[in-house]
Amino acid sequence: MAANNQKSLELNPYLKTKSLIMQKRFIQFLLTWYAVLLAFVCLIYSVSLGLMGQTDEALYSAHWPGTILLFSIAIRQRRTPRT
């Protein structure tokens, strides 16, 4: 199956170009939204701990999403050149 897919990419340069564009878009999406995705995963982790009855651990990990988002804002402000 993989060999057949590789042949189709070799035969059709349009598919290869489209595949590269989709990969670049996916990478750009991850680079832009990595902090929000990580914060969401931490939020789900905290909620699951709370539902399992581990309230102390849930309260501790509930602070992670806000901290991650605040640090990502600070890092992005430091990255952008000041004009």
Domain boundaries of the chain, sorted by first residue: 2-77
Note the pLDDT tens digit of each residue in 37-78.
Answer: 999 999 999 999 999 999 999 999 999 999 999 999 998 888
* Confidence check: pLDDT of 3 > 90: no
* Confidence check: pLDDT of 83 > 90: no
Residue 9, classified by CB atoms within 10 Å of its CB into exposed (0-12), middle (13-18) or buried (19+), is middle
Asked whether 19 and 28 are in contact (CB, 8 A), the reply is no
